[in-house]
Structure 1
Amino acid sequence: MKPLLCKRAERAHRLFTLPFVVLLLLLPAGVKGQTIHPVQSTLQLLPPYSVYLSDYAQPGADKLRVILLQRDLSQASYALRLVFAVELNGRVIIRTARTYNPPPLSLDPGVPTVVSGADLAGYLDSRNLEFVGYSREQYEKTRALPEGSYRLCVSAYDYRRPDVQVAAEACAFYFLSRSEPPLVNYPACGSKLPAKPVQQVVFSWLPRNTASANSAATAEYEFSLFEVRPAGANPNQVVLNSQPVYQVTTAFSQLVYGPAEPQLQENMQYVWRVQAKDKEGKDAFRNNGYSEVCSFTYGGVAPAFVVGKVEDFQVQARTETKATFSWKRDAKGFEGYRLEYKKAGQGYEWFRSDTKEGELKVFDLEADTEYEARVQGQVKGFYGPATDIVTFRTPKARVVSCGENVPVVQLQQGRPLAFATPGMTIHARGMEVILEEVEHLPDDGFYKGRGRVSINYLGGAAFAVKFDRIYIDEDRNVVSGRIDVVSNRNQMTDVVAWAAEAFKPLTEKLDDLLSKLKEPQENKEQIATAIDDYIAHVQTFIAKNPQLPDSVQQQLREDALLLETSKGGFLAATDQESTGMIVATIEQQVGQAKDRIAAIKEQVGNGSSGVDKMAAAGKKSKLIVMVSDSVMKEGKVLVYNGAGRQMKVKFETSDVAKAKIPFQITIVAESSNRTISYPKAGYDTLVCNQVKEITLDSIPQGKYTVVCGSGKNEHMMNFVRAQCSHQWQWQSAPCSL
């Protein structure tokens, strides 16, 4: 006799089963295969991002939120558990342990449930996490995640059936980086400080963590002062092998070293440095927070000696890559000057140039970039105070179109360039020529050699050039002489070909997303999957094309991030009006992404057709693979009993441009039929016409595939390693495979 409750359940089950089966039979084949989960999940991660997982589980914190919605209205309530996964550069490194049994999360039908703050503490506790390919011991030392590109995902599972997933995976992308250590400011490195009757030296440094969410308000600085003994010792060795004569911790970026501190010895060389620390003990700085090591000499001149300040400091941006700095010379008897310049903003290093003149020219700047500059005067080895910082901006790079008349500026033969070196950029009538080989001729300013020039309006085509006698002035302008192209055809750089080849699948993914947006209510899960698929393709495209300009990579990332943000709002929308508004936003973002891709394709060669034509008429290329000292051959079998693990890869091409291209090695091991990849994730890169030597974990028996480049410029080699004899030899057929 079954209980009454069981009988009712059986009767309800029978009543439910028949119409459900009929409904399945009536559904189209495409709909039957779709997975519709009873719970909808959305993950929200708010900046600024912390390298410490525990920061996302602080009581009251709202940086990480999981929004859950029970869509199955037939259930009074539902209990589930969450599973988190942390991916670094496309590889899972941390995930929730299967043995972790948290309290159940109870959902009410149709009511969003937000899980954040202390509710996530158990999920982010290292005792409840599994570490995959990442050392638990390394994480436990600081509880800090390494720098890189991250993807944080959450999945929901039935609480009583841990293998039954009840919600699609929701993810968020973010990038983690640590703060830079302080930048020492005064006393300047290598300077001399006058000895005074009353000892007083002001040390100052520039904090570079003011934008950090971890340590901006909790940073402190440990100042250390060392004596250089013996005289002339390397300052870096001094700080490693000796104890400081004075050490103190301060919360300020300035320290006054006065009479109460240990007496400085006259004519003694000192070394000082600063270490930035977080009061809460978090390692949030690169180089463990240590600044560069800086030395100075105390005393040696009259106590009343004072170095003045340089006057009338001016900057003129002459071209998109050149600027002239000038100041009032010898106004106060200066013997020399030190110019410092850098990009405006935090995180950029100062570049220094010393001169005895009242003017200095700087080359190799970046177009359309804001810079900061300052100058100091020097007398008898002592540097005075720096001038106020002057900011300037270089002009935008001019884009020239085919057929456009470009005025030619007639240059006068000015002062000759004192010396030219490989890697230097010279300017020849609007073209930038990168020197690869250069020889100084007997006459001042005249050179011969070879170089390379890239022309933007020809899709970045690279030409090899040579010159037998050209005159280069001090501004690096070619004033006279002849430069000849030695390439017998236009040479398209590999990165242009890869980019154009890869843009087609990106556009196809966007078109697929647009088609699904026509019926948003019916295709909700498919739309979210299509957005994730496009983001994954963007990441793969950037990883395979490391030579793409940073601006292009940033544009693609920004468009993907906009879609990722809109996806969360789309999945959280519950009514038709809000869904329609978000769909319109996504359609606009897709259109913007397609327009951006079209503009980039036009910039790099008027689309893939133009690239294909140039590639077809382009370079002669060959992929060379060596194991030990033996050259592999396509389709051959290599017989070897040794245990060597070294392999060499070289991509020979007639293109003289030393571009980086991606490559990957795939091994199908004979014994286990397991696939082994090098690198383990993504692609490695090699420089054209240069040998790349790598060490594999092993060289097992099996089938090897080496792929270099991508798209229509992809080169592939297949060979097999077998084990039948005691020496290297080639066989025409496999012996053990």
Structure 2
Amino acid sequence: MYTRIKHTAFLIGCCLCLSIVLRAQVNYPVMASIQLNPPYSLYLSDYAAPDPQRMQVTLLMKDLAETNYKCRLRLKIEGFGSSLQSKTAFYTPPILLNGGEMLTLSGTDLAPYLNPQNLLIQGLDNNQFSKNGAKLPEGIYKFTVEVLDYTRNNVISNAANAIVSTFLSYPPIINLPMANTKVDALNPQNVVFQWMPRHTASFNAAFNVVYKLRLVQLIPANRDPNDALRTTRPLLETITPQTMFVYGPGELALTPGENYAVQVQAIETEGRDMFINNGYSEAVAFTYGEKCSVPQAVMAAVSGRNSLKLTWTGTPTQQAFSVRYREAGDNPSQWYEEDAFVPQLTIGGLKAGKKYEYQVKGQCIWGYGDYTPVQAFTMPDAEMQKGDFVCGSSSGAGAITNRENIAQLQVGDTITAGDFKVIISKVSGATGNFTGTGEVLVPFLEYLSLTVTFSNIHVNTSRQMYEGIIQIQQDDPGKVSAALKQTLTEMLDKIDNALQSADLASLQQLDAAGLIQQIEKMKDWSELSAATRDDLGQLESKLQEAQQLLQDNNMSPEEKATLGQKIAKDIKNLTDKMKQDLQELGEILKELLGIFKKAVTSLKTDYNDSRMQQLKKDYEEKKNAAGKLIADNNAAIGLTKGAGKAESAGDIQEWGETDSLDLPQELKDYGAATDSLQEGILVQILAASTDDKDNEQVVNQLKVNQQSFKEFVQQQQTDKKEETDTVRQAKVSIMNWIRSVIEKL
């Protein structure tokens, strides 16, 4: 019994092994093979294209007796986490096989099997897959083809396999120009753009690829190049099959010294997405040459009764210069221009006693640079008593290389300033920096002697002025420096110290004539308050009375002493009052600055980091919405200016005429978001400022309820309002000022 069971088990095992071997060695009547030819595409339609034949299926009917055997294919494409397989019941004409004949299928023969409608898709979004043109995700795929009986749908061939690797290619790399470098500005214009393709080693190399080159100017110069390339109208946008482009004289002229950005996009000619980042290279920013430099050390000097000589320092790259000048004043004349080929020019035909403004610019191979800042020169009057003698700085002049400061100057010393000799008559200062007066002999006026003044000039050991300004002495108040209070205080202290006794003897010690001359200049200072200017007028009148008293010989000594004591006392009372006013002004300014800082600190809290981030986010959202509206509906909106048409929200903003345009709400929202963000930025800047001088300038411009900031604070003190109310009102004043600044931007 045991032997029989064992024998039976052995037979069953043999049968099972035989069954497995027979299954593995099934002799199908049809032999199938599949061949996929590079380039390997992600698009199914490319494998069904008639030319080139990227997919070929070969079938061989091994049964020689068969004729017109009807069959069909079953296609399966397997990737990581996804598969596509032929549906069991889709209709397609039968494939006819004859015994012993080999049939090759490709192109249109395979098109029905590669149609997404005839495929059972798993692991992929069917709608998205169809929307993308039946494009497979990047990856490795296994293609399997089997032959089925057309009627019974049973497998009659082996499973033919082929494996392909399909990945997107990297976009090109721009080799020239290199990022953040300077490109030489040549004449004629010649800028080479060159890039290296990175798809040539992949399946994309066999596709037809062209390149779109886009060039924009960066305004402002530090603008993000990617943002500029997305939103700015390009200077150049062209398509080329080459990997380089020469930007020559036939293109728009680039401006030396300006920043630009370039980007290249690789594009498949039939619109297929074959590249990462849609084929866009990195944005490359570069600087085109450099601006023709601004001439330095521009100096003007009298060259004759009606002529002015201008000299300056150029550079080797400057081939010529352009000088423009005009008569200054409330209604200045038109600019007159003259050319020079050396760094100097004499201008004739000028009017005596008139003030002229002048500027100089250089011309290089690639064009003109910027003008120098406007400088002014007053021609001497007919008597040569008023007007400028020499104006400008000789700093950097090529002829003066000695920068070793002279230790000391004394009365009687002679120094050279430009083409003139100056004899020192009064001087203070040391180590090369001097202030004082002098006399100059003018050769072309028969050595007429003119009195000149100078302040903070620099003199080297060769007694040459290499930096500073010398002027004919004149009653020109000029600009009041930040030391106005100190200057006024020093004068009052001088008077106060001389009049300690407040009698005729102390009055005789005053330099009344010198003080009157100083007051005449001070009265023209625009920074003085009306009250201070009135006090100076009264002080001047008292000093004139003192002069008359001291010159009057018809009075008795007793009368002179009595009147002198009264005048001295009046002068002393005035100086004490003015000194007290100055002290109060200083305390008020200190208090104003304190309130201002508290208000700004409070505003900084209102515009904290969280709110600033929200303002920036809101700005970006509104900007994108406005840009999309213009890009999508430009024709409908019809926003134009001259020959230009708005292509981005930035165009509308740059025009600066949004108030006169009937703007859609998106653009209005963009403008409001821009203003809000700018308000926050200005608050941040004010809060970060630690310079009291800067803060004083802001305080002087603040307005609250049509009152000056000072009057506002005084009113708050009078009404004894809480400090919080004062700060709250100050915040309103500051925000109103900030908004007025933004309106002017």
Name the TM-score, length of structure 1 as normaliser.
0.35
**Would you tell me which structure has more strand in proportion to its own residues?**
1
**Would you tell me which structure has more helix in proportion to its own residues?**
2
Which protein has the larger Cα radius of gyration, Structure 1 or Structure 2? 2
